[in-house]
Amino acid sequence: MNLRPLALSDNLALSIFLDSECGSSQMYRTVLNLRETQMVAMERIAFDEDQIVGYLCCAKMINPADWWVLSVLVVSSNSRRKGIGRDLVRRGMDDARRAKAPAVVVVGDPAYFAQMGFSQSAVKNLSLPFAQALTSLYPIAPKTGLSKHTLQYPESFVPFNDVVTTAV
């Protein structure tokens, strides 16, 4: 598996990948909305030979403004349980650290994301708009774990307020 930043020439293949893996165009539309509103912090694709097998997108939070949210993580159904999702997340968190993001929030399976260093207990002092039981934090800067903030996600993240699916 190779991992690299998304290139403009990847858009069609990414659209097809996300639509087929997620069963609708909602995920790709969310990515497009994040891009159009300039809220994408980082995008990475994993590929095997010429085929996309995974995608990761982190977006900028509205509040705290310097935090990120892991917005999209999708691994090909044919490539699951091979560590691709974990590799994407780990490398994504390395990118977040290099970009000096103080913390990254995720809404998803707490047990899965705990394997990559996310902590559910680190969000206990945060005011969350939804999905408290599914929210975890990857603290990077000192004192971000257990800090007190009211989280506000990018508006484009809103379609996932009611339903959280894990496609990894």
Among 51, 68, 77, 85, residue whose Cα is nearest residue 144: 68
pLDDT in tens, 48-74: 888 999 999 999 999 999 999 999 999
Task: Please compute the mean of the pLDDT values over residues 104-131 and round it to a whole number.
Answer: 93
- Residues in Cβ contact with 159 at an 8 Å cutoff, skipping those fewer than 6 apart: 26, 30
For the domain 2-160, what is the CATH code?
3.40.630.30
Question: What global pTM score does this model have?
Answer: 0.89
Residue for token pair 């969350």: 128
CB 104 within 8 A of CB 93: yes
The pLDDT value recorded for residue 80 is: 86
Per-chain mean pLDDT for the chain: 89
Q: Where are the domains of the chain?
A: 2-160
- Residues in Cβ contact with 99 at an 8 Å cutoff, skipping those fewer than 6 apart: 41, 42
User: How far is C-alpha 19 from the chain's CA centre?
Assistant: 17
Handedness of CA 19, 21, 24, 28 (dihedral sign): negative
pLDDT in tens, 72-110: 999 988 878 888 899 999 999 999 999 999 999 999 999
